[in-house]
Amino acid sequence: MADRWWVGDLTDSIKDNNWENPYNWATIEGGGGGAGVPTAADDVKFSAKSSNEDCVMTATVNAKSIATSSVDTGGTNDYTGHLDANDQDVNVAGDVYLEAPGTVSMGSGTWTISGDFTFVDTGMTLNYETSKVIMNGAGKVIAGSWHNELYEVQISANISVGPTCAARTEINGNLTVDAGSTLTITNEEFMVNYTGEIYCNGTITGTDQLVSSSADIIMGAAGVMSISTVSCRNTTFDNTAGGNYSPTTTTSAQDSNFTGGTFGGAWTFSQEANADREVTFNGNTTFTGACTFDQNAAGSDYELIGNANDVEFQSTVTFNQSGGGTFTWTPGAGTWTFGDDYDPRNFTNYNWTSSTVKMNGANKTIWNPSVQSHGNVIIANDTDTGNSVTAKGLTTVEANQTLTISAGHQYRVDSSAS
């Protein structure tokens, strides 16, 4: 193991700024060149005292560590030149510290980092371009200052984000957590933007929040989403593979789409912006935690669309209309199952003609159960007998519609209630 300090063209008659030129490297800060190209056993260091010449990678790079700041190199001062990956792959067995006030261009290659990855954009220009960062060192950390950006990130070990500083990291490509790996997000907001997707094949956990800004969330069969908060807008949720989606809280604003699967934790849906928005179900979907749907944008429409798929709410579900716009429910020909009270009175419009409402909770209440507007209504509980459903308001069963009361259950009508 040895140090390799970038000295650029100080001792070479050929001015090429080439990482692969052995004369561009020294063994000590400010030393003479000719030490040879860094290898996987070498700590690569940059400082202004050695050289502020630009450095361009022209082949796959291997190093033990890479550092550009005097805090990390132990050198005299910071490197202020341009470190250009030039679309090459970079393999680092240890840590990468990009904290100097120069420029780093990551290119389109893959940076495989087995140590910590620290990047601070205060005074530094980080061009993430279309690079991919693979973190594969167990127990290592991604850390940065406020509002850092990367392109694509793959988590291939147990990795933490932001444990030492309050920050936000934005991913502009895909975020992938491999099976058997864990991404822990603490004291930092981790955001994936609309140009990428979130693939949770391992575990995403932590006490802070994962943010999806129009990035889809795709759960793998072994995926676990157990972070405290998932905050989304214009997001498609896919758990058809049967992963464990169970954040403490999910907030989903603007348009939301579900391709199917089971989703845990508490959910809050809202329009957020003053525009027509939809919650669309394109596959059979189950919510195990409490759900709130809020039409909260003034003068704008909000619609729940079932597309003939089955939707089940195993806990409390609340429908609010606080924005003054139109709130519409269009379930299609599927079955909507309620494990708790069912109160649709805040909807402006119902399009229930061919649908089925199933009351599946013990001793619950249904308001205004007009079977004409709601299609078929089934009163049943899968596991208990002797339970009752109380209907608040008038119960109407129109021609060609069916109200089914399973054996051992009671249907009580309180026609005086509103």
Mean pLDDT of 66-78: 91
Whether residue 384 has pLDDT greater than 70: no
- Quickly state the pLDDT bin for 79 (edges 50, 70, 90): very high
Rounded mean pLDDT of 5-9? 89
Instruction: Answer yes or no: is pLDDT of 17 > 70.
Output: yes
Of the given ranges (177-186, 329-338, 345-354, 359-368), which has the lowest mean pLDDT?
Answer: 359-368
Q: Which residue has the tokens 């109200």?
A: 403
Mean of pLDDT values over 193-197 = 89
Identify the band that residue 11 occupies on the pLDDT scale cut at 50, 70 and 90. Answer: low
Asked if pLDDT for residue 55 goes beyond 50, the answer is yes
pLDDT band at 271 (very low <50, low <70, confident <90, very high): confident
Share of the chain above pLDDT 70, in %: 83
Lowest mean pLDDT among 133-147, 157-171, 242-256, 388-402: 388-402
Highest mean pLDDT among 8-17, 257-266, 315-324 belongs to 257-266
pLDDT digits (tens, 9 = 90+) for 347-375: 888 776 667 777 777 777 776 554 334 44
Tens of pLDDT, residues 91-134: 999 999 998 889 999 999 999 999 999 987 667 889 999 999 99
Percent of the chain with pLDDT over 90: 60
Q: Pull the structure tokens for residue 309.
A: 């798929």
Q: Is the pLDDT of residue 401 over 90?
A: no
pLDDT at 378: 58
Q: Name the token pair of 400.
A: 């060609």
Residue spans of the domains in the chain: they are 278-418
SS3 annotation, the chain? CEEEEECCCCCCCCCCCECCCHHHEECCCCCCCCCCCCCCCEEEECCCCCCCCCEECCCCEEECEEECCHHHHCCCCCCCCEEECCCCCEEECCCEEECCCCEEECCCCEEEECCCEEECCCCCEEECCCCEEEECCCCEEEEECCCEEECEEEECCEEEECCCCCEEEEECCCEEECCCCEEEECCEEEEECCCCEEEECCEEECCCEEEEECCEEEECCCCEECCCEEEEEEEEEECCCCCEECCCEEEEEEEEEEEEEEECCEEEEECCCCCCEEEEECCCEEECCCEEEEECCCCCCEEEECCCCCEEECCCEEEEECCCCCEEEECCCCEEEECCCECCCCCCEECCCCCEEEECCCCEEEECCEHHHHCEEEECCCCCCCCEEEEECCCECCCCCCEEECCCCEEEEECCCC
- On the question of pLDDT at 261 being above 90, the answer is yes
Predicted local confidence at residue 166, as pLDDT: 57
- 340 compared with 66, residue with greater pLDDT: 66
* DSSP character string of 333-370: TSEEEESS-B--TT-SEE--TT-EEEE-STTEEEES-B
The pLDDT score that the predictor gives to residue 382 is 42
